[in-house]
Structure 1
């Protein structure tokens, strides 16, 4: 049975999601793309056809939509007979789209946490402020809602769950490391929506340490990480979505998020912030116009999707997990490396968008085949990570694991099957 998909959002991640849905349309069926800007939807559809991404002949259709309008979104879900909604729009529309899914019974997926446009860095855990308040409504409606199923948040949550369940007797710490070792050749640009990007870094940095929330300032704590492919890179402690669910769900006392920043990015960011140009609060100009400084900065910066043709280099994202196994200390690294140029060759995107978009489609496939279709709300670490990791291995995001046994591909489904065959042979003997 095919499951029609409605993609909300036509930015860089929406571009990748559309291509990956097209590559799997034997199961996912008709693909609908909705955005305020209809032209962006048509451009994505043209790209899907140009790249020959359709697995088999199928429908791709563009729609104009204000996703803040719950009734309009519900009507579009019904009109397109969409079973799965992949929300990759601005984080401000999450709760509206989620409500439309609850009203219509469609499954809901997103890649980032909800935000109030007038608030930055609310009291943690952030999911408790919005999404988790609708958990009971999802359960009562039988609606599957998988929150934060990009890469970070998303895949890193699955890596953490896999490590907790299969690599350790006790996990003491998880450090999520996100390194972009690529170059786009522009003077200054952000790799995803500038407004969302800057809002992450303009206020308190929350981390989970000693089973409590720890507050720091941005760029206050730094650490050099030596990782496969990207090598030694300076990263900074950063607040991030996944900490706010993993801290509540995994029982691990220390969970931190580290992201790489070059000195040039830090300098430009600091100037913009100190001038007040990253403020989300409206100001009045000398001509009497009311503007939001952050929205003005977004308007003058390059569209992240436009960076793709010239992007070179790799990204690294992974979990460094420490704990004890068999009474001895153990460290495991579970990670992915993605190449910017390879992503552009395949779907016309850069690796930042690719790593966020592919997992959302993998999750849609797992809902469509029933594996993750739970009829309630879940964060990624609430779900079995093994089919998710195995599916992404085949979709372009291979997962590797480095531990005392070496560095190798992590293929949990094959490994489990192999163990079961060994057990059967042993019992037969």
Structure 2
């Protein structure tokens, strides 16, 4: 049984994680928040106080931390007596924080695949380049490490496993559909870290088709879907984290990820990209200053956390699964709908942050109770997923299943 949570990161997702940890601190124990900016950590703590989110009265402490410093991170884990570390900082930190957890015995959770600053869209399966190299060490040291336990990746991995275990005898395809039908009212902004956001779309689009990796360009392949509560949207084939683990762990020949984009986003993205402003490679100005164009664009764009107050509308994210059951063709859409306004009312964050921030806290609760404290490294689809989905139903991210005209709660 593990207690006490250290949250690393202080953006919009970290704010949701902190609120949700506070709501279940009777199970999770003491909470600490660490980031390069201690002021951002204190802002989150103030938000928790305003919303009266703490289930049990306790002090939440803020710390300044450079999480690339393994020794400093390990020392903070020990000082706070944290047995569970939730990494919701930038994806560049994964390996450093994981190493600190392996040195201290703390359980490790993250919400995205590791990235190297000088590499975009690595050779698949991407997890094999970084995280999976430490599987044997985690097992030998009995370190629980749960990878990619946000929404996508994370909840959609659980949806895929649920489909395979309960609803299908054979799955022919899983198409993960991600639609944000909300509006933030800004001329242009990204819903999460602009640097990570753009890096997803400037490299090769990898998908798993006919039991092999297929490459495409961004915005090359599209489809239209009419989804529950958000209506019809155009989605584009996009490379994404969960494909890199689901293709290994599930016997499914076709796994693809699709995301909706408006024409305005695509136009601005293409202009920035064509001008070289989304490059991760440094350039020198006439004054001799070295600048990374992508980091400059990130600095200019709105902080995603600042979008929350004015965000309106809904998200719909789920898995369209096709296959066979009892010898007959079957098609299901397993999904969640979240509201930006409701997310802000509860956590001072927008819906994208909410969908990413609730799942790692559900996972932390399962580690605290022992159900997911496996003493090794796993992706979500390798774990018992039904307890996870039950907790998400309780915590604000209910799962539904649409089959033809029937639209019902998954556990109904």
Aligned counterpart, 2:55:
55
More displaced 10-residue stretch of structure 1: 287-296 or 396-405: 396-405
Aligned counterpart, 2:201:
201
1-side partners of 2:170 and 2:251: how far apart? Answer: 10
Is residue 2:45 matched to residue 1:65? no
Aligned counterpart, 1:321:
321
Deviations 1:361-391 (A, max 9, x none): 0000000001111000000000111000000
Deviations 1:33-77 (A, max 9, x none): 000011000000000000100001012000000000000000000
Map 1:188-337 onto structure 2 (within 5 A): 188-337=188-337
2-side partners of 1:363 and 1:349: how far apart? Answer: 20
Does the CA-based 8 Å contact 2:109-2:145 persist in structure 1? yes
- Alignment RMSD, CA only? 0.8
- Give the 3-state SS of the residue equivalent to 2:344 in structure 1: helix
2-side partners of 1:122 and 1:332: how far apart? Answer: 31
- Give the 3-state SS of the residue equivalent to 1:3 in structure 2: coil
How many residues align? The count is 412
2-side partners of 1:122 and 1:60: how far apart? Answer: 38
2-side partners of 1:404 and 1:345: how far apart? Answer: 33
Aligned counterpart, 2:372:
372
- Aligned-residue offset at 1:203: 1.1
Map 1:98-109 onto structure 2 (within 5 A): 98-109=98-109
1-side partners of 2:162 and 2:377: how far apart? Answer: 20
Does the CA-based 8 Å contact 2:2-2:84 persist in structure 1? no
Provide closer, same or farther for how the CA distance between residues 62 and 102 of structure 1 changes in structure 2, counting only shifts above 3 A: same
Provide closer, same or farther for how the CA distance between residues 227 and 214 of structure 1 changes in structure 2, counting only shifts above 3 A: same
2-side partners of 1:124 and 1:41: how far apart? Answer: 35
Does the CA-based 8 Å contact 2:2-2:83 persist in structure 1? no
1-side partners of 2:9 and 2:268: how far apart? Answer: 28
- Give the 3-state SS of the residue equivalent to 1:178 in structure 2: strand
Q: List gaps (5 residues or longer) in structure 1.
A: 416-429
1-side partners of 2:300 and 2:232: how far apart? Answer: 33
- Aligned-residue offset at 1:404: 5.1
2-side partners of 1:356 and 1:250: how far apart? Answer: 23
- Aligned-residue offset at 1:215: 0.1
- Give the 3-state SS of the residue equivalent to 1:397 in structure 2: coil
Map 1:11-160 onto structure 2 (within 5 A): 11-160=11-160
- Give the 3-state SS of the residue equivalent to 1:192 in structure 2: coil
Q: TM-score, normalised by structure 2?
A: 0.99
Q: TM-score, normalised by structure 1?
A: 0.95
Deviations 1:208-253 (A, max 9, x none): 0000000000000000011100111000000000000000000100
1-side partners of 2:235 and 2:115: how far apart? Answer: 25
2-side partners of 1:224 and 1:71: how far apart? Answer: 49
2-side partners of 1:360 and 1:212: how far apart? Answer: 30
Does the CA-based 8 Å contact 1:179-1:260 persist in structure 2? yes
Does the CA-based 8 Å contact 1:2-1:27 persist in structure 2? no
Deviations 1:323-363 (A, max 9, x none): 00111100011000000001001111000000000001000
Does the CA-based 8 Å contact 1:338-1:351 persist in structure 2? yes
2-side partners of 1:392 and 1:121: how far apart? Answer: 30
- Aligned-residue offset at 1:405: 7.6
1-side partners of 2:37 and 2:279: how far apart? Answer: 25
Does the CA-based 8 Å contact 2:273-2:279 persist in structure 1? yes
Does the CA-based 8 Å contact 1:2-1:26 persist in structure 2? no
Does the CA-based 8 Å contact 2:243-2:257 persist in structure 1? yes
1-side partners of 2:196 and 2:327: how far apart? Answer: 43
Q: List gaps (5 residues or longer) in structure 2.
A: none
